[in-house]
Structure 1
Amino acid sequence: MTVAETVVATTAQTEALPEIADPSRIAPRDARQLSKVFFDRLAVLEEGTREYQDVRNTLIEMNMSLVRFAAGRFRSRGPEEMEDIVQVGMIGLIKAIDRFELTREVEFTSFAVPYIVGEIKRFFRDTSWAVHVPRRLQEARILLSKATEELRSRLGRTPTVKELSELMCLSEEEVNEARLASNGYNSSSLDATVNSGEDGEAALADFIGADDHALELVEDFHALAPMIAALDDRERRIIHMRFVDELTQAQIGEHLGVSQMHVSRLLNRTLTKLRTGMLTTS
């Protein structure tokens, strides 16, 4: 009997999660099965309690293999950076664990890997500049990127400089400066050689061009926009705080003056409404 089968059987008999001596050594296949059991328990525990923290820490250690897998995609950057890449990837894993919900009906691995890779890419974006750029412009560039994505999602089109300046609380001149600063972020020759694994070295130009699966979501975003607009103010505020501000349910509860469980019910009800609407229109 595997470790996962043993834990599942023990949990079913005792309704208690047994201790795992070294969660970081759990095989990835077992980790996928065990994660479901631990997420089930995490969902009924109160944030901040000792048991909640223990279960959360076990989930983090069990799924460290996902970080190593995602970090492997960037091994061409050299061993010096790999330690930093793994540390940054762990931040992405922790964010994924804190935001994952079993009601999403997706595997945790499918949910977590984009978070981990996104955090690593954000690390490169924020630390890798081809030329020296003042710190204020580096920060403005990050704000510009976030504001552009938010407004593009909200408006369904590329935002204007004026719209960006209003959201960022900056002048239009400062927004244009941030755009120009983005040009100094990174540069590489298309003839630069990269390590392509077993095939040896290859030119960077050989790797340009790939299917962007995110484009498949464009129709979904267009269908979802009017449904979000039809929500009441509180529902839209909760959705914004959860998925734009990236607050936890406990933090949202503090803002609204309600309990975490009440926020969870409101969020589930709103997501069910949106999900039903999407299925109806598809």
Structure 2
Amino acid sequence: MREAGQLDPFDDLDVLADQYARARSGADRRAGRRLRDDFVRDALPFAGRLARRYRGRGEPADDLEQVARLGLVKTIDRYDPERGSFTAYAILTITGEIKRHFRDHTWGVHVPRGQQDRVLEFVQARAVLTAELCRTPTVAELAARLGLEEAEVLGAQASAAAHSTESLNAPLGDHPNGAEVGDLFGAEDGELTLVDDRTTVENLLCELPARERRLLALRFWGNRSQVEIAEELGISQMHVSRLLSRTLSWLREAMLSDVTPPWTASGPPDHRVLVTAGADGVRAAVHGEIDRDNANQIRRELLSAAGSCGSGRTLVVDLSRVPLLSAAGIAMLNAVHEVARARLLTFRLTGVQPYVARVLVIAGLRNLLAE
């Protein structure tokens, strides 16, 4: 039907349809059938393009293209040039056939058409809300978005789960004995042996302090590294390591004991403050990191040391054994300095390690460093 130089139907199907309609009007039955077959063959790429829009929805591409081609044949047989554009009519007919195929042939159980449409709206709304909220939306949020009752949303959710089913007689991979999926039902579940242990661990976790529970959650449920946990909690990585070791040791002991041992936070102390009095004043040597967890305790001990030092004397804080000083530690030292100045004491920091010294200089406490 198409001669050299004519437009490709993929570019302008309406031109080809108009030529077909005019040629068909004066042709006999045999010639009309040939013209129809030629038109169908020339328009097949258009049907294939519409079918490809629905790829990735669980149906084979060949099946979708076959449905689109049948829709194209229906379009050509029903086309009336007086009613408007052939392309617009073809799009409506072919896409309608494809959607009808999804409704009638892809559901595992029979679901009324109205419920099928509601399921499609539910699936789309759930995807949009999940992207907006960065979490799975609740039933109430879905109901508000769709303008439905919560019971209707639950019904759509149940129907969506019935869209795709799997046969119990489906082969189980490349099993040498030809096993089927149904053979898995009733088999021994190895996870059952862990039920008691999981229940025990859940109860023990409730007895831990809030910080230790959060630490375990970040490490084992959030897959966070010790460095990331340290930044989250505002403590050092070494402190995180100690807390994890201490907590896991307690859990291990509690799991193996008939009586739950008390949580005493046993283990090496996070810090020590050794105070010695001299002729010129008091010297307080701090051992260990100073962070948010122990800054208040160290402040109390240094203020106690300042209270034992008479006016006009010197309070020297030895930081030679302090490898790390957090923001809480800086605030603590500044508070002790203010109290010492109010009591007419000379306050000095000595033995400061290079890293800690840089932190103090950045914080504006250079004047406290002993020459």
Q: TM-score, length-normalised on structure 2?
A: 0.30
Greater share of strand: 2
By relative contact order (CA 8 Å, sep 6+), the higher-ranking structure is 1
Q: TM-score, length-normalised on structure 1?
A: 0.38
Larger Rg: 2
Greater share of helix: 1
